[in-house]
Chain A
Amino acid sequence: MNVVLTLLQNGIGVMAPILLAATGGLFTEKSGMLNIALEGLMLVGSFFCVVLVSQTGNLLLGLTLGVLVTMVLAGWLGFVTLFLKANVFISGLATNLFASGITVVLAFQIYRNKGVIIFHEIPSLGRVTIPIISQVPVLGRLISGHHVFVYFSWLILVIAWYVLYKTTFGVRLRSVGINDQVLVSLGRNPRNYRMAAFLISGFCCGLAGAILTLSLRAFVPNITAGKGWIALVVIFLGNKRPMGLFIAALVFGFAESLSNYAQGAMNVPADFILALPYALTLIAMIGYSVVTYRRQALE
């Protein structure tokens, strides 16, 4: 029982970047664009946030600048896709390719190092103890005592829910995804809403990437290791709803902490552990499509 609790607790910590990236991807998905660039945006965010925090010596300033850089890349992706009318899928792949290239090139340029870069000067992130809840036996261990980013990711999910479902902007954004001619009849350009969705996904992915490097206080090439893709699947498995996203991300967080545990406890080769998120995602995808297919067949 104690093991399960520890696994869940770790899972909640691990799911934060996935949840954040998925929240960002939810906006593009709702606006009708398949955004496969989450992975690349996250990678760029993870690199620029940690480097800029280290260079400016200020956590908040560095984080803001890093997220802005990510948003610029997301904006470029949006520009190419919406204004130059490139295939959204290919431009997303290009973003991922660009991200893996630019991070290594700049790491080499600044640090003359293409491997692991450790940032000792960055302060480690504090853990938050929530006053009353931390005293409750099981709940306290699960909910209290995480990095501040974990709570931040939950907050952003709530904001995303509010924006998407309770504001005019959100309703219009979702209408673009269903039929982009609706907004045209209102005299508004659906392209602007899609562009906004891309920028929001850039903001969320930048933060998601920052969690990875700032909690590790190091940058590792390809540190995202498929998390952006898992975020995409979380969106599908969560049925494109905020609460569903949370549950799906929790499942993946749990799976990842389980595989970390398996690596230590059962001596499973590291490559298998790394492969596990992809394999699990694939199985989840197939299961999801079988269920959807059956449901459609019934109707």
Chain B
Amino acid sequence: MNGAALLQLIKRISPKQVFFRASGLLIVIGASLASIIILVFLLSQYPLMTLRYFFFGVFQNLFYFGNMINRAIPLMFTGLGITLAMKSSNFNLGGEGQVYAGAFTATVTALALTAMGAFIGTVAALTAAAVTGGVMAGLSGFLKMKWKTNELISSFLLSNAVVLVVNYLITGPFKDPQTNLLATRRIAQEFRFDKILLPSNLSTGIYIALVMVCIVYFYIYKTRSGYEMRMCGQNREFARFGGLNVNTYIVLPMFLSGALHGFGGAVAIFGTYHMGIKEFSAGMGWNGISVALIARLNPLAVIPAALFFAYIESGASIAMLHSDVTFEIASIVQSVIFFLVTAETIYSLAKGKRSLR
């Protein structure tokens, strides 16, 4: 694995560097916005109208605006999950499967515990989701600890297999026979999170996400365990020399990362979808990686980064509704960000130091 480049992301940087990093980030974001404009001019017959919907459609009414913020909620969880793993120099690439499996477990638990009442049922479902995601990622961590299995490939492969198995479960044994949707039954009314910005889908899930950002920030920077985890992330040999149990910080961050993903999937179910729909979470895991990288692995910066991604996706879906482009242009724009966000040269160009030898 390209350790040196990853370490570059983890290093603490001075305030002056923060400014240069920020201006590098502006270049990346600018490039992604430019790519939207170019794509729309190439693909749409009415480019100006499409662009207006893309960039300003979100602010057109409360419905679109609330839905955009709602879209950012799962990205905050997955972004935090990736941040946590990468801070410890572990790579969790199975986010897609962890979100999806977590959401599915939460739905099934909530359906099974309907009689237990909303509080017990919700807590049990959220816990089950977090454990499901955590065990999936933790397994990759365990394999890495035990036999040095590349966690990045193992988590990805496991996630892909799990996504397909969950697809089968949702469309097979757990499918709601009453509808034609490829989905499970709906969870009971009293389990669902309250809407806070009608008519949009925005729910109280946003508060949970914001609290989780604070918890993760506190854990990483203000606890002993978080400190040790960061130390292992920066230099595992040094941490070992310092007497830390290095193996713990392979499995634990991976477990927590997966747990955050699974939890995020559950929150999406309780807040927005209310039932397990086939492939409803597609993209949430991948975008979590982008969100974490744009936030430069700072838990607090995950909030604006997730909102930015939600803005692009919402823009694309509004443009699709009102004009002649298809939603997938969002993934092209996201890939532009992905391409450039770790590019060191861009950040040094912004610094005025030309290292493009």
What is the interface of chain A, defined by CB distance below 8 A to chain B?
34, 76, 80, 83-91, 93-95, 97-98, 100-102, 104-105, 108-109, 114, 226, 229, 232-233, 269, 271-272, 274-275, 278-279, 281-282, 285-286, 289-290, 292-293
Contacts and interface: CB of A to CB of B under 8 A. Distances in A.
B153 A233 contact: yes
Contact of A289 (B143, B331, B336): B143
B161 interface: yes
B143 A86 contact: no
Contacts of A114: 326, 328
B332 A98 contact: yes
B231 interface: no
Nearest to A296: B148
19 contacts: A85-B344, A86-B342, A90-B293, A90-B341, A90-B342, A93-B286, A93-B289, A97-B338, A101-B334, A101-B335, A108-B328, A109-B326, A271-B167, A272-B165, A278-B161, A282-B154, A282-B161, A289-B150, A293-B148
B344 A86 contact: yes
Given A97-B338, A289-B147, A80 B157 contact: no
B43 interface: yes
B200 interface: no
Interface in B336-357: 336-346, 356
B300 interface: no
A281 B171 CA distance: 25
Given A85-B5, A89-B152, A229 B157 contact: yes
**7 interchain residue pairs of minimum CB distance:** A94-B338, A101-B331, A98-B335, A271-B168, A84-B343, A275-B164, A85-B344
A98 B331 CA distance: 7
B332 A285 contact: no
Nearest to B158: A282
B39 to A, nearest CB: 8
A159 B338 CA distance: 34
A85 to B, nearest CB: 4
Given A94-B338, A229-B153, 5 more contacts: A85-B344, A85-B345, A101-B331, A285-B150, A289-B149
B311 interface: no
A101 B157 contact: no
Contacts of A80: 339-340, 343
B292 to A, nearest CB: 11
A86 B340 contact: yes
Secondary structure call for the B interface: helix
A243 B161 CA distance: 28
Contacts of A105: 39, 43, 326, 328-329, 332
A130 B152 CA distance: 43
Contacts of A89: 1-2, 91, 152
A86 B148 CA distance: 25
B30 interface: no
Nearest to B39: A105
Contacts of A269: 168, 172
B172 A94 contact: no
Contact of B156 (A83, A101, A229, A286): A229
Given A34-B2, A87-B5, A289-B143, A278 B160 contact: yes
B338 A90 contact: yes
B347 to A, nearest CB: 9
A98 to B, nearest CB: 4
B165 to A, nearest CB: 6
A286 B165 CA distance: 20
Contacts, number: 139
Interface in B155-211: 156-158, 160-161, 164-165, 167-168, 171-172
B146 to A, nearest CB: 8
B37 interface: no
B6 interface: yes
A84 B43 CA distance: 28
Given A108-B326, A271-B164, A286 B339 contact: no
A114 B325 CA distance: 12
Nearest to A221: B328
B181 to A, nearest CB: 17
B335 A286 contact: no
B323 to A, nearest CB: 13
Contacts of A91: 338-339, 342
A286 B1 contact: no
A271 B113 CA distance: 28
Contacts of B152: 89
A13 B162 CA distance: 27
Contacts of A104: 326, 328
A128 to B, nearest CB: 34
A101 B43 contact: no
Given A271-B164, A272-B168, A285 B153 contact: yes
Contacts of B356: 83
Contacts of A109: 43, 326
Nearest to B168: A271
Nearest to B356: A83
A281 B152 CA distance: 13
Contacts of B334: 97, 101
Given A87-B5, A88-B2, A293-B147, A281 B338 contact: no
A76 B338 CA distance: 13
Interface string B230-251: 0000000000000000000000
A297 to B, nearest CB: 10
Q: Which of B91, B149, B164, B172 has the most CB of A within 10 A?
A: B164
A95 B335 contact: yes
A285 B139 CA distance: 14
